[in-house]
């Protein structure tokens, strides 16, 4: 199964992107994982859609999403909602033909505080629901206290979190396979 990771943070030292980088070592064998680039997308603007074509970075993201069997979002919370770069990427990929239709999706989030990312994850679920994804609702993954769970090089070092994430990924792969085979 080909899984595409999409981070809601453009920061080089992002904890959310760091969590996605930890995924390949925690995924069940036989699955592929890559991370999408969303930092170079223009702001959503229908004037940039010309004769049914999209700007190159948009087309690249759309192709990556369409080629993926499943999508894994990792997002921070910005002002109690979805970070603008992530919403922008989703809006571009939602344009005809909606790249998300029927895709198995899971969401996780990492924050320095204890509650962080819940207030981004719920609106994200709502938006993706409108786009007809197949959402893995449980387990919810709120990784708080990130300062104690990642080292200075962004490696996820906390064993409890690695174990939890590994189990969640196994659940997600099983879920995505079930969705794919109907």
What residues line the site for ligand FMN (CB under 6 A)? Answer: 9, 11, 14-16, 76-80, 110-113, 116
Residue with smaller CB distance to ligand FMN, 2 or 11: 11
18 DSSP 8-state letter: H
Spatial separation of the C-alpha atoms in residues 153 and 79, rounded to whole Å? 27
Residue with smaller CB distance to ligand FMN, 76 or 104: 76
Least CB distance from residue 75 to ligand FMN, whole Å? 8
* Structure tokens that stand for 79 in this block: 């002002």
Residue with smaller CB distance to ligand FMN, 111 or 173: 111
Least CB distance from residue 157 to ligand FMN, whole Å? 16
User: CA angle 157-158-161, nearest 5°?
Assistant: 125
State the residue for tokens 């996780």: 108
Run of H or E including 1: none
Least CB distance from residue 102 to ligand FMN, whole Å? 28
């Amino acid at each position: 199964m080909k899984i595409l990771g999409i981070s809601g943070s453009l920061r080089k030292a992002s904890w959310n992107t760091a969590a996605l980088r930890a995924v390949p070592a925690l995924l069940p064998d036989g699955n592929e994982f890559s991370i999408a680039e969303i930092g170079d997308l223009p702001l959503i603007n229908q004037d940039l859609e010309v004769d049914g074509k999209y700007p190159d970075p948009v087309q690249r993201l759309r192709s990556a999403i369409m080629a993926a069997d499943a999508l894994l979002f990792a997002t921070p919370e910005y002002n109690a909602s979805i970070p603008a770069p992530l919403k922008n990427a989703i809006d571009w990929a939602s344009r005809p033909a909606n790249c998300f239709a029927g895709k198995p999706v899971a969401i996780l989030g990492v924050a320095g505080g204890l509650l962080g990312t819940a207030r981004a994850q719920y609106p994200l679920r709502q938006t993706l629901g409108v786009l007809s994804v197949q959402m893995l609702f449980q387990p919810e993954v709120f990784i708080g206290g990130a300062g104690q769970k990642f080292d200075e090089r962004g490696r996820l070092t906390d064993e409890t979190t690695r174990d939890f994430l590994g189990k969640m990924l196994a659940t997600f792969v099983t879920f995505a396979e079930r969705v794919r085979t109907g």
